[in-house]
A = this chain, B = another copy of it.
């Protein structure tokens, strides 16, 4: 299921997200000199350890205990820096969008949007756990904001009523396609069978269980039999292919319509 973000104390979460940009907050969590032991960790170290765990073992295996262990301490040690796991996930999400490239200066909007989408696709495939964090919440952090800002810069001048729809649609398309791609990839990796083998087994099973499948679902049957373009059964290139086609349709309507 989807992890919800943006909950918990909003002020605390926002302060953590914008801590690098805030004049009030220093990098350290607490005022420069206060009693008590030195802090042994930093929020950034925790975020990076958590991302490393999620990248390596997946979101299901991300636990406070696992992050603590990677840092050589316990789960509870993290709670000095981060209010809860949910806030940590929000921080991970924003951090994984860091270093977003500037929108190009060139006037070729179509190419610029395609490059933007390609970049986002790359992030998702590199950090598939991003797709398990809800993105429907409002943009909260500086790096997420930069992703949106770069798209808005590309689309600058589009009529406002088209703009909101186009922005939503572009995010949804890329995210949905990336989700199809990464889950297909994961399923293939988990079962150990090839993609083609997986489909033939599934088809045989279905033929047993629903002999009337072709009559009941003629169009689906036709689609399954139709040529799927390049890429064969590889779920990643199939999803990428569908994304490219969807983007073309959308941009035809947006830029040329």
Contacts and interface: CB of A to CB of B under 8 A. Distances in A.
Interface of A: 1-4, 6-7, 10-11, 14-15, 18, 21-25, 59-60, 129, 131-138, 142, 145-146, 148-149, 152-153, 156, 160-166, 168-169, 171-173, 175-177, 179-184, 186-187, 190, 201-202, 205-206, 208-212, 216-220, 222-223, 226-229, 239, 241-246, 248-254, 256-257
A33 to B, nearest CB: 23
Contacts of A226: 160, 163
A63 to B, nearest CB: 12
A168 B129 CA distance: 21
A172 B219 contact: no
A135 B254 CA distance: 27
B254 A249 contact: yes
B156 A219 contact: yes
A206 B162 contact: no
Contacts of A169: 173, 242, 245-246, 249-250
Among the interface residues A166, A201, A227, A252, which one has the most CB atoms of the partner chain B within 10 A? A252
Nearest to A18: B209
Protomer copies:
2
Contacts of A129: 1
Nearest to A217: B149
Tell me the dominant secondary structure on chain A's binding face: helix
Contacts of A217: 145-146, 148-149
A176 B166 contact: no
The 8 closest A-B pairs by CB, nearest first: A165-B245, A172-B176, A169-B246, A152-B219, A252-B253, A249-B253, A1-B132, A136-B183
A184 B2 CA distance: 14
A239 B138 CA distance: 12
B11 A205 contact: yes
A14 B205 CA distance: 8
